Structure formats: structure tokens, C-alpha cells
Amino acid sequence: MLKDVVRTKTYQNVIYKNSFLFKDKVVLDVGAGTGILSLFCAKVGAKHVYAIECSSMADMAQEIVKLNGFSDVITVIKGKVEEIDLPVPQVDIIISEWMGYFLLYENMLDTVLYARDKWLVKDGLVLPDKASLCLTAIEDADYKEDKIEFWNSVYGFDMSCIRKQAMMEPIVDTVDQNQIVTNCQLLKTMDISKMTSGDASFTAPFKLIAERDDYIHALVAYFDVSFTKCHKLLGFSTGPKSRSTHWKQTVLYLEDVITVCQGEAVVGSMTVAPNKKNPRDVDIMLKYSVNGKHCRVSRTQYYRMR
């Protein structure tokens, strides 16, 4: 993730180019990892940074902080946000890189919202403060044949039961922008500074318009994040038309191969919610229909990111 230049450089620019936001402020870094965001904040004059990390990486972060001479400014706390006590009653800023695949996978957003409600001072900052989930459609015959249809006949044997499983699992991969057949549509925008935990579960309608005559094999989801409280708007996109990130895109293969003509629409809705048995997983229900010149279809499909 440190080598993900889009991710790390954006956070560095947010902090370095808006040092006035951090100067003499108490900062909470949620899910600190190596502590890179905490180091950025300390370098621009934060009064104190509390870096919370529940994995064994916390020990390494502690050493990195010491190696770089910030032991008096950065306190690394090992543990879960929901179980630890902070040495201070409030913080001025919460910064976190909480986004997972499909934005919501691993459900770290809930942890950020918990920290916000417990420790953030009134009118304090949450960075980033906006996140948006977007959708488009692609032609992907070769990959679908290789990864999905393969199971219909494996050395002459029917293994289609595995195909059913493969269809239900969204694939995280890099999509070539030349595969995109339709427009891209905003599905959901989240305001991290105001939203509640329940807002991460939603149903959103979509209408994807074909920009050329082609086939559609899958829908593709990606997300954008924004830091709107900066002097100049900053952020990044994980979309197929943007510079690639470690999040890539999330591909949801369709049971149907949809034939579309330019101007025809794929309409439907997407319902997203944490899995009830394992809240780190994401359940997705996709409803879609097409009523075109060469293709008429209506279907509901279920997926689970795990």
C-alpha cells in the first residue's frame, strides 16, 4: 500500500499542502499500519498524534516513530479502537485510510464512525470526508470464459456447481478502459463527517446507457474519495479511467451476455449491506433488465465479497 503512489501521495499532499489544518492540533490516526499518516501529521506540526493499530504492525510502527525522532509527538496504541482508552478526552482531527475493495469490504468504516462519535471535538475534521461508489458496464468475454465458463466442462466432467460459486464472488482486478461499454454512474455518496453506521447499507437505482454497439458481460464498481475541507479540493478515483491503485476495480459477472446497441439502457438497482454472519464481508443484490433491439432480459443476482 505504501507503494500505491496515488493513495499515499494524495494523503501526503492533503497534509503537507494544508499544514494550517494540522498545526498544534491533536490528531487520531485510525488503523495506522506503519504509521505513515501519523508521520506526515507530525512533520507539519501536529501537537500530538495518537496512532491506533490492532495488528502486530503496531510494534513496527512504534520502532519507525522512534527511528524518525517523533516519539514525543506520536503515541502508538496497539488494540482495537472499540476497546482502547485514549489519554485525551477529545481529538481535533481523525485521519484514516479505511477504504476496502468495493469501498466497504472489511467494514473499517464503522470503526472510523465509532471513533468520530466517541472522541472528535465538535466541528472537528474527518479526513477523507467524502466517498462515492460508482458503476459502469464492460465487455469481458475472454476473462469470463476463462474464469467462469471453464467450470461447465473440466476435462469432460461437469463441474458447474463450482461455476455457481464463482459467479457469486466479485473479482477484484484491473479493467482496461477500452472494455467500458456504457457511461459511468454515481451510485452512492457518503459524508463521513455526518453519516451513521447504517448509511453504509443502501439500495441505489442505476441506468447505464450504451455508448457503442457491443456485448456486456459484467458490471464494474469503483470508488472515489475526496478531502473537501482542504484549501484546494483533493482526492482520487479508483476507476478504470484513472491511474491504477491497489484497490483496482470490482467486477460482478452477469449470468446473461447482454447485447446492446448504442443508446440502449441497462436499468436496475444495487442493494449493499454487511453480511449478517461476518460483518467484514459485503452482500450485494443486483437487479438488472434490458429491453433492447437484440436483447430482452430481466434478472436478480446475488454476490458476496469475502
Q: Is 116 exposed, middle or buried (0-12, 13-18, 19+ CB in 10 A)?
A: buried
- Bridge partners, 284 (sequence order): 272, 303
Q: Is 97 considered catalytic here? A: yes
**Element (DSSP H or E) covering residue 118:** helix 109-119
Could you say which of 53, 97, 139, 264 is catalytic?
A: 97
Point out the catalytic residue in the list 53, 82, 83, 106. Answer: 106
H/E element, 58? helix 57-67
Cα torsion angle, 248, 249, 250, 256, sign: negative
- Is 63 one of the annotated active-site residues of the chain? no
**Beta-carbon contacts of residue 31 (< 8 Å; ≥ 6 apart):** 52, 53, 54, 96, 97, 98, 108, 111
266, exposed or middle or buried, with CB in 10 Å at 0-12, 13-18, 19+? Answer: buried
Which of these, 249, 247, 233, 241, lies nearest to 10 by C-alpha position? 233
228: cell is 473537501
Catalytic residues: 97, 106
